[in-house]
C-alpha cells in the first residue's frame, strides 16, 4: 500500500483500539494523519508510537457529536497538510455506561438512542459532509468507517447500538453512490469481536460483550491491528474497484455472500 505515502488522512476516533492501530500503521506507511479523538489522555499516550516514522501524525482533541468540533478537525487537516485525501471513522459510543443503558426495546430510553445516533451516525455524516468538498478539490478520496455485525445479527441486547450501525451502513451506501462520480469511494468493515489492547475492560461493561466466547471459525478474537490492515486497504488504491461495501472481516463468526 505504497500509495498511502503522503496521503492526508483524518482519523475520527484514533486514541485507542482500531483507530490507534490504524494511526500507527498509516504513519509507518508515510501518511500525514490528523488523529482525532475526544480522549486527550489516550492521544497523549499514543503519541510516542507515532513519532520517528516515515509519515507525520498530529493529535487533535475533538468530539464527533459536536458540529463545531468536526469543522475544526477538518480545518486543521487542510491548514496543516493543504487538503484531505482520506477519512477513517472508527469512533462510536461504546462507553460502558451507554452500552449498559441501551436496554431492550421494551425498556427503550429515547435520550440514550439519541445520544448513540448523534455519535454513531450523525457525527460520521457531518464529518463526511465537512471533508468531502476537500476530497473533491483533491480530485478524489477514500472514506472508511467501522461498523458492526450487530447491524445484522438480531442480538437481544444493545438495540440502539445495533440500529445505529445499520444506519451507518446505509449512510456508507448513500455516500458511495453520491460521490462515486467525484472519484470518492466509501466503504466500511465489520470486525467481529476485537480485544481492545489500550483500554482495559471496566467492571460495569456488558458481560455479554466482554465475555463473548470466540465461537467464530478461527476460534479467537481479533487484535486491533487486524482491523487496521483492512482499513488501510480501503483507504488505499489497492481497493480502487470497491465502493459502498461493508466488509465482513470477523474470523468467520458468520458467513455472508
Ligand atoms: N471492539 C469490538 O469488539 C468491536 C466489534 C464490532 C465493532 N466495533 C466497532 O469498532 C469501532 C472501534 O472500536 P474499538 O473497539 O477500537 O473501540 P475504542 O473505544 O477503543 O475506539 C473508539 C475510539 O473512539 C473515540 N470516541 C468515542 N466517541 C467519540 C466522540 N464523540 N468523539 C471523538 N472520539 C470518540 C474513543 O475515545 C475511542 O478512542 C467502533 O465503531 C465499534 O463500534 C468494535
All domains in the chain, ordered by first residue: 2-248 (3.40.50.720)
Tell me, in angstroms, the distance from the centre of ligand 1 to residue 218's CA.
23
Tell me, in angstroms, the distance from the centre of ligand 1 to residue 181's CA.
30
Best of 39, 92, 201, 220 to mutate for ligand 1, by most ligand atoms within 8 A of CB? 92
Tell me, in angstroms, the distance from the centre of ligand 1 to residue 230's CA.
16
Identify the residue whose C-alpha is closest to ligand 1 atom 16.
17
Residue 171 pLDDT exceeds 60: yes
Q: Which atom of ligand 1 is nearest to the CA of 21?
A: 16
Best of 94, 153, 162 to mutate for ligand 1, by most ligand atoms within 8 A of CB? 94
Q: What is the pLDDT of residue 138?
A: 98
Grid cell for residue 195: 480485544
Q: What is the pLDDT of residues 104-141, one digit of tens each?
A: 999 999 999 999 999 999 999 999 999 999 999 999 99
Tell me, in angstroms, the distance from the centre of ligand 1 to residue 15's CA.
9
Average of per-residue pLDDT across 65-72: 98
- pLDDT category at 207 given cuts 50, 70, 90 is confident
* Residue partners of 122: CB distance under 8 A and separation at least 6: 65
Whole-number average pLDDT of the chain: 95
Residue 201 pLDDT exceeds 80: no
Residue 202 pLDDT exceeds 70: no
Tell me which residue of 120, 89, 88 sits closest to 102, measured CA to CA.
120
Residue 161 CA to residue 166 CA, distance in Å, equals 9
Residue 35 pLDDT exceeds 80: yes
Amino acid at each position: 500500500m505504497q500509495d498511502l505515502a503522503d496521503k492526508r488522512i483524518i482519523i475520527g476516533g484514533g486514541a485507542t483500539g482500531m483507530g490507534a492501530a490504524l494511526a500507527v500503521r498509516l504513519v509507518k506507511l508515510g501518511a500525514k494523519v490528523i488523529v482525532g479523538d475526544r480522549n486527550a489522555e489516550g492521544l497523549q499516550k499514543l503519541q510516542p508510537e507515532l513519532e520517528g516514522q516515515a509519515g507525520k501524525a498530529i493529535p487533535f482533541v475533538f468530539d464527533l457529536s459536536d458540529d463545531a468540533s468536526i469543522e475544526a478537525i477538518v480545518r486543521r487537516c487542510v491548514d496543516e497538510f493543504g487538503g484531505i485525501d482520506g477519512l477513517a471513522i472508527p469512533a462510536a459510543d461504546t462507553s460502558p455506561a451507554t452500552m449498559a443503558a441501551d436496554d431492550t426495546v421494551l425498556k427503550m430510553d429515547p435520550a440514550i438512542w439519541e445520544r448513540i445516533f448523534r455519535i454513531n451516525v450523525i457525527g460520521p455524516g457531518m464529518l463526511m459532509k465537512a471533508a468531502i468538498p476537500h476530497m473533491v478539490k483533491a480530485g478524489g478520496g477514500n472514506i472508511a468507517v467501522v461498523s458492526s455485525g450487530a447491524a445484522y445479527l438480531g442480538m437481544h441486547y444493545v438495540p440502539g447500538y445495533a440500529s445505529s450501525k445499520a444506519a451507518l451502513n446505509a449512510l456508507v451506501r448513500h455516500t458511495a453512490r453520491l460521490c462515486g462520480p467525484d472519484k470518492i469511494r466509501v466503504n466500511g468493515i465489520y470486525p467481529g469481536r476485537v480485544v481492545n489492547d489500550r483500554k482495559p475492560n471496566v467492571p460495569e461493561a456488558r458481560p455479554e460483550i466482554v465475555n463473548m466466547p470466540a465461537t467464530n471459525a478461527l476460534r479467537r478474537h481479533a487484535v486491533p491491528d487486524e482491523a487496521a490492515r483492512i482499513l488501510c486497504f480501503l483507504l488505499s488504491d489497492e481497493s480502487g474497484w470497491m465502493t459502498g461495501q461493508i466488509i465482513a472481516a470477523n474470523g468467520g463468526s458468520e458467513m455472508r455472500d
